[in-house]
Structure 1
Amino acid sequence: MALPAALAADLSTLLGDGWRVDDAARDAQGGDDSRRHARPDAVALPRTRDQVIALVRACRAYGVPLVARGAGTGTTGAAVPTQGGIAVSFVRMNRILDVRAADRCAVVEPGVLNGALQAALAPHGLFWPPDPSSADSCTVGGNLATNAGGPRAVKYGATRDNVLGLVAVTGTGDLIRAGGAYTKASAGYDLTRLLVGSEGTLALIVEATLKLAPRPQAQAGLRAFYRDAASAAAAVSRLMAQPVVPAMLEFMDRRSLALLRRNGSAVPDAGAMLLVEADGSADALPDILAALGAAAEGEGLLDLDVATDGAARDRLWAARRALSPALRSIAPGKINEDVVVPVSRIPDLVAGVEALADANALTSVVFGHAGNGNLHVNLLYHPDDADETARAHAALPRVFELALALGGTLSGEHGIGLSKRDFMSRAYDPATLAAMHAIKQALDPDGILNPGKLLPPLQTKC
């Protein structure tokens, strides 16, 4: 459906060369890593917050949808413009506005790349903790939209825990400010945490004040192999119960290890593996490592490796880095969902996924961030096999049902988008969903911001 001619003319004048209606630009901004794609009617590339305000107000007047975009590395279809309208790319709003080392914060625009921010912070001895696997290519705005995490979240928290303040434009075209360059506040509603993870459905973020952490002086690693997933989960509980919080705590199931062995990695035949990273001062690190090693030991431990220098740590983590490429050696099609369960229920999740895969003649691989109970469930299939593809997609709802039945939730870092939207009504009761819809209505009364994402349609009472 074509945009109203008057709106297109106004936005062309407003944005200049930041207004694109050619097929190449529209196609480039129509998809993400979910492999979904829908062409927007136009692409807007604003340079300033004033342009974003004017853009939202103009689109509200005509009822035209706006879908904010980062680098398109999301996996749930949250940035796919399924209802047409305008894709808003923040690639030109990519300035690091201020690094306030004394206040341990940085002020940035949403188009800044995560990796570029880390490089800019390094000379100050600081870093921003969120470290998704796409860190070199994803944007801070995209991290904010999905509440991205990564391995470091077990110690430092996900994106929401590392944001101090936001400036954003609501669906009414109003500029709102939440939080600021301070770490403690008890004044009003916490709009900062509300907006982080809202997937562009409540407001378009135009500036963020990020909470920074000191770069550790030293790092060391442990690699522990266990008889089964239950033994590994018990070790996770011990690791998280002692005073020293690991910087990273990753889990790989037996099928992950079997896949790595098949592809030439030197890992033993075990039921599960934990990768544990410690960080801290050079003086404290030996004691930290000893405490983590002691917690890793216990019933079901088969082998334990320790690495204190960079090259040795790289060897320990080589298996984790090799896993994603190895998945493609099984099948080119992959459904990857990041469910969360209580740590004590990790064995039940792994066993349940294995049973589900076996029942549907599929291959499953489970790995991820064990310290948070945030695991990536991979169902592998051949897209050119229609029957296998159908079985894989039919199994996906059962994965979500299993996670919820184990007292978990639908996502820990990827978000909801389109892929999990219809399961929100199983994760939340009607009253809770109604409260979420009320918030959406308050900030975006005409429903123009990323419509059709995150929230299922509101069920009205008869």
Structure 2
Amino acid sequence: MARLQQAIDPDRLLTDPADCWAYGYDNSRRHVCPQAVAFPFNTEEVAGLVHACRELGLPLVGRGRGSGTAGAAVPIRRGLVISLERMDRIIEINADDRLAIVEAGVTNGDLQRALEREGFFWPPDPTSADYCSVGGNLACNAAGPRAVKYGTPRDNILGLTAVTGTGDIIRTGVHTTKGVVGYDLTRLMVGSEGTLGIITQATLKITPKPEARRTLRAVYTSMTTAAAAVSRIMAQPVTPCMLEFIDGRAIDMIRDYASVDLPEDAGAMLMIEVDGSLEQLAYSEQAVAEAARGDGLSELRTAASEDERQGLWAARKALSPAQRKIAPKKINEDVVVPVSRMADLIAGLDQLSRQYGIIIVNFGHAGNGNIHVNLLVDPDDPKQMAVVDECLQKVFQLVLDLRGTLSGEHGIGYDKRQFVGLEIEPASLALMKQIKKQFDPDGLLNPGKLFPDVVPD
């Protein structure tokens, strides 16, 4: 490791397996201990580390805070992990130009708190916002509930700085909201999961905070009537800033593990928020409430205060802890279908649940058609484990038959790479492989991710 010590202060390089162990995992539950972990302070140090890895033929993985669920940050082939956690400066907040310049290691939560003091926010808001990094958000294009109105990281970035697999430092994009010079390398890098380069800095598009918001909870007697309501809500002119779906099985789980006020006939639930100026808020609330009304609606409530708003969200917040208690080793997927096919997706998943004898719990960002499909499998049940792979394959085929996509925000990483060929045809995969070679000719950047084992030339 002497060559790595030439690239970075030895005090910021770990080589003892006991020290490196914690950097071999992410939230996918996979773990591979890296051979070394480096903590650069700036882009130039990252470039120096990449040059050293090229000389050594050492694989490397850029890492944020390890909150991803698809294994993207796990060093499958060991090598070097470059942790960007110490590159955590907010360099500039420019309200006049509506932009912020940050290093990749800044957490989403710290950025949001800094922007809030200036009357702004950055729209991406993953559940892990308090500890996930902006660089990780960009690498996986991780969004969250607000994406239905404000878009994903790809929609909220102007440019970035990154280090490619050759050790070259590239700066992409602009500081303006319009710009068409050259190829759009910025949007190409976002969502590439560290396979094209290591993002070290980003120029983000920030948004003024809305003056007010209003929260509604709509409860339906069945999942299909709730899914139909999603289509009605998204078809009218007012776009909610959040539109979350929770199915009947999830509601039953919540009742067992938390004290929440829900009607006994609740088969599914929508959590809806609208935001904007005080003058327009009443109209927005009325518009989405009218669209929510229809077959199967059993309750429609609007929060009159912040305390009541928190009360309405209590059921949604209780869901993850309930699932962890019931099935700590569940399989969590985040598929997306067109909003108009939501009802078909939910009905199909219910049929697969009955066919394979696996409890499937569905919730997520309904306004985008982005549903988290949770297979509550028990690894100690041989009957379930014998059919779970086939069931998962049928889930993905259902999604694709509905003109959907296999991942909305969790990414592909290691866990989903073998299914990519179901969605992307060989010619496109071959082109992606060629792009990868241009950025990373030695194949050292996050190897074993994104692509299936066999990719056409």
Q: TM-score, normalised by structure 2?
A: 0.96
Residue 157 of structure 1, CA deviation: 0.6
- For 1:64, what is the secondary structure of its paired residue? coil
Indicate the residue corresponding to 2:194 in structure 1.
200
CA RMSD of aligned residues (A): 1.5
List per-residue Cα deviations over 1:165-206 (Å, max 9, x = no partner). 011111111111111221111221111110000000001111
Indicate the residue corresponding to 1:85 in structure 2.
79
1:267-416 pair list within 5 angstroms: 267-268=262-263, 269-416=265-412
Indicate the residue corresponding to 1:266 in structure 2.
261
* Percent identity between the two aligned chains: 56
Q: Which runs of 4+ in 1 moved over 6 A?
A: none
Q: In the aligned structure 2, how far is the partner of 1:158 from the partner of 1:364?
A: 27
- Is the 2:360–2:376 Cα contact (8 Å) retained in structure 1? yes
Residue 389 of structure 1, CA deviation: 4.0
Q: In the aligned structure 2, how far is the partner of 1:390 from the partner of 1:25?
A: 37
Indicate the residue corresponding to 2:234 in structure 1.
240
Residue 393 of structure 1, CA deviation: 4.4
Which residue type is aligned with residue 12 of structure 1? Q
Residue 454 of structure 1, CA deviation: 0.4
Mapped pair 1:168 → 2:162? yes
Residue 390 of structure 1, CA deviation: 4.5
- For 2:96, what is the secondary structure of its paired residue? helix
Q: In the aligned structure 1, how far is the partner of 2:284 from the partner of 2:313?
A: 19
1:150-189 pair list within 5 angstroms: 150-189=144-183
**Greater shift in the superposed pair: 228-237 or 146-155:** 228-237
Q: In the aligned structure 1, how far is the partner of 2:454 from the partner of 2:176?
A: 37
Mapped pair 1:66 → 2:48? no
Indicate the residue corresponding to 1:3 in structure 2.
none
Q: In the aligned structure 2, how far is the partner of 1:102 from the partner of 1:22?
A: 48
- Is the 1:224–1:296 Cα contact (8 Å) retained in structure 2? yes
Q: In the aligned structure 1, how far is the partner of 2:178 from the partner of 2:410?
A: 27
- Is the 2:125–2:144 Cα contact (8 Å) retained in structure 1? yes
- Is the 2:47–2:168 Cα contact (8 Å) retained in structure 1? yes
Mapped pair 1:35 → 2:29? yes
Q: In the aligned structure 2, how far is the partner of 1:115 from the partner of 1:407?
A: 34
Indicate the residue corresponding to 2:134 in structure 1.
140
Number of paired residues?
454
Which residue type is aligned with residue 8 of structure 2? L
- Is the 2:430–2:456 Cα contact (8 Å) retained in structure 1? no
Equivalent in 204, 220, 230 of residue 226 of structure 1: 220
- Is the 2:360–2:374 Cα contact (8 Å) retained in structure 1? yes
Q: In the aligned structure 2, how far is the partner of 1:179 from the partner of 1:380?
A: 42
- Is the 1:144–1:159 Cα contact (8 Å) retained in structure 2? yes
- Is the 1:434–1:458 Cα contact (8 Å) retained in structure 2? no
List per-residue Cα deviations over 1:9-34 (Å, max 9, x = no partner). 12113212111101233111100110
Structure 1 47/386 Cα, relative in aligned 2: closer, same or farther at 3 Å? farther
Structure 1 386/39 Cα, relative in aligned 2: closer, same or farther at 3 Å? farther
Q: In the aligned structure 2, how far is the partner of 1:193 from the partner of 1:329?
A: 38
Mapped pair 1:53 → 2:32? no
Q: In the aligned structure 2, how far is the partner of 1:395 from the partner of 1:37?
A: 25
- Is the 2:224–2:347 Cα contact (8 Å) retained in structure 1? no
List per-residue Cα deviations over 1:87-125 (Å, max 9, x = no partner). 110011111111111111110011001101111111100
Residue 382 of structure 1, CA deviation: 2.8
- For 1:357, what is the secondary structure of its paired residue? helix
Residue 406 of structure 1, CA deviation: 1.5
Residue 161 of structure 1, CA deviation: 0.8
- For 1:283, what is the secondary structure of its paired residue? helix
**Greater shift in the superposed pair: 350-359 or 431-440:** 350-359
- Is the 1:100–1:106 Cα contact (8 Å) retained in structure 2? yes
Mapped pair 1:448 → 2:444? yes
Q: In the aligned structure 1, how far is the partner of 2:442 from the partner of 2:6?
A: 24
Q: In the aligned structure 1, how far is the partner of 2:251 from the partner of 2:343?
A: 16
- Is the 1:40–1:84 Cα contact (8 Å) retained in structure 2? yes
Residue 214 of structure 1, CA deviation: 0.7
Equivalent in 248, 253, 256 of residue 254 of structure 1: 248
Which residue type is aligned with residue 439 of structure 1? I
Structure 2 segments unaligned to the other structure (5+ residues): none
Q: In the aligned structure 1, how far is the partner of 2:142 from the partner of 2:456?
A: 32
- Is the 1:160–1:193 Cα contact (8 Å) retained in structure 2? yes
Q: In the aligned structure 1, how far is the partner of 2:424 from the partner of 2:22?
A: 35
Residue 459 of structure 1, CA deviation: 3.8
Q: In the aligned structure 1, how far is the partner of 2:372 from the partner of 2:205?
A: 27
**Greater shift in the superposed pair: 9-18 or 65-74:** 9-18
**Greater shift in the superposed pair: 230-239 or 144-153:** 230-239
List per-residue Cα deviations over 1:270-326 (Å, max 9, x = no partner). 222111001111222111111111111123222211114211111111111011111
